[in-house]
A and B are shown apart, each in its own frame.
Chain A
Amino acid sequence: MLSRDEDILKAAEDWRKAGRGVALATVVETWGSAPRPVGSNLVIDNEGNFLGSVSGGCVEGAVVTEAIDVIDSGKPKMLEFGVADEQAWNVGLSCGGTIRVYVEKVG
């Protein structure tokens, strides 16, 4: 069963209070067939642990990598993934849609 969003946001709060570096990724826009709806969350810590989902598994790896950068820099980032992306073969969405993911530091 998919984790409920509230568990993810609670985890973000708990992880941060435990002193970990934490970032929150949110699906903010989707086009075509996207695996997870707008508003879906992924929480990531500075060691690459994560909880939740923004794409059902297709691009989480790339989001985690970017999230660790965001935790270091403190600057939010907007990421876009889709089949038209030049990295499509690596981290594209197999379903053919496009998603935009906002990654921000929790702190």
Chain B
Amino acid sequence: MKLEILQALNAERAARRAVAVVTDIASGEQRLVKAADAGKDLLADVLDKHLRMAKSGMEETAQGKVFVTVHVPSPQLVITGAVHISQVLAPIAKLLDYDVTIIDPRTAFASPERFPDVKVVAEWPDVALPPLNVDRYTAFVAVTHDPKIDDPALIHALERDCFYIGALGSRKTNAKRLARLKEAGLRDDQLSRIHAPIGLDIGAVSPAEIAVSIMAEITQRLRQKVDKAEAA
């Protein structure tokens, strides 16, 4: 691999942009294709399939055998609410290789003492979220119980097409939330993407158990989407 290709590849990954490298097995020739340019590529269909599934693999093409390596960003988890659940959820997510950011404008909650080793941003979502590059490789969890904080963040997460969006609250709380978000102009198909009540139904009671159920649901979304996409 040419150093220029490797550098460009690492730059794309650092910027959290999906990218593919196509290697001609017979000749050793290689090229880098940014996800944004994949549609214009000679192998557009092949690249689209691999990027969508986040899966590398060998392909027989009209030009011969090629190996397609895809690199999609490592998943990140963005949480609104520096609450008890987040104190447990953040370390679990880090063990699963997520980059974790917690947002809470309430400085009493968002203190480094409560969250050692976690990136905590003590700002409102409209300030905190844009620099995070929230994208389809992001899981978003709203757990403040405060609509002033959670609602704008949920709208941002829906607009950015996060692969998982969950919000804490009972069915009743959620019904009110959905009504507010609908009022704010979101469509039903968007609202149906919000997982609420949050987490897999495993009878979780304690904050740690709730964190496990949330992380299990996020993992299910991340891993089973491939099967669903294949079935579709």
Chain-A contact segment, one of B54-62, B109-117, B197-205: B54-62
Q: Find B67's partner among A6, A12, A26, A105 (CB 8 Å cutoff).
A: A26
Report yes or no: B25 in contact with A9, Cβ–Cβ below 8 A: no
A24 adjacent to B25 (CB under 8 Å): no
CB under 8 Å from chain A, chain B span 33-75: 55-58, 67, 69-71, 74
Given A9-B13, A26-B69, residue A38 in contact with residue B3 (CB < 8 A): no
Near A by CB (< 8 A), chain B positions 90-129 give 95, 97
Q: Closest residue of chain A to B27, judged by CB? A: A76
Question: A24 with B70: in contact, given A12-B6, A13-B7 (CB under 8 Å)?
Answer: no
Beta-carbon contact of A102 and B67 below 8 Å: yes
Please report the total number of B residues contacting A with Cβ < 8 Å. Answer: 22
* Cα(A92)–Cα(B57), bound, Å: 22
Question: B23 touches which one: A16, A102, A106 (CB < 8 A)?
Answer: A102
Contact of B70 among A28, A29, A39, A76 (CB under 8 A): A39
A38/B7 in contact, CB under 8 A? no
On whether A13 and B67 interact (CB within 8 A), knowing A76-B28, A104-B28, the answer reads no
Residue B229 is within 8 A (CB to CB) of chain A in the complex? no
Q: Does B10 contact A (CB under 8 A)?
A: yes
- Could you pull out 9 A-B pairs where Cβ atoms are within 8 angstroms? A6-B10, A6-B74, A9-B6, A9-B13, A26-B67, A28-B57, A39-B55, A39-B56, A76-B28
B-side interface residues toward A, CB under 8 Å?
A: 1-3, 6-7, 9-10, 13, 23, 25, 28, 55-58, 67, 69-71, 74, 95, 97
The residues in A between 11 and 36 inclusive whose CB is less than 8 angstroms from any CB of B are 12-13, 16-17, 24, 26, 28-29
Q: How far is the CA of A24 from the CA of B6 in the complex (A)?
A: 10
Whether A28 contacts B67 by the Cβ 8 Å rule is yes
Q: Which residues of A contact B69 (CB under 8 A)?
A: 26, 39
Q: What is the interface size of chain A, counting residues whose CB is below 8 A from a CB of the partner?
A: 24
CB within 8 Å of B: which residues of A? Answer: 1, 4-6, 9-10, 12-13, 16-17, 24, 26, 28-29, 38-39, 75-76, 78, 102, 104-107
Return A9 CB to nearest CB of chain B, in Å: 6
Residues of B within 8 A of A4 (CB): 74, 97
**Further 15 A-B residue pairs, CB within 8 A, beyond A24-B1, A28-B57:** A1-B95, A6-B71, A6-B74, A9-B13, A12-B6, A16-B6, A17-B3, A24-B6, A28-B67, A29-B57, A38-B55, A39-B69, A39-B70, A105-B1, A107-B2
Sort A-B residue pairs by CB-CB distance and give the 9 closest, nearest first: A39-B56, A76-B28, A28-B67, A38-B56, A13-B6, A106-B1, A6-B13, A13-B10, A29-B58
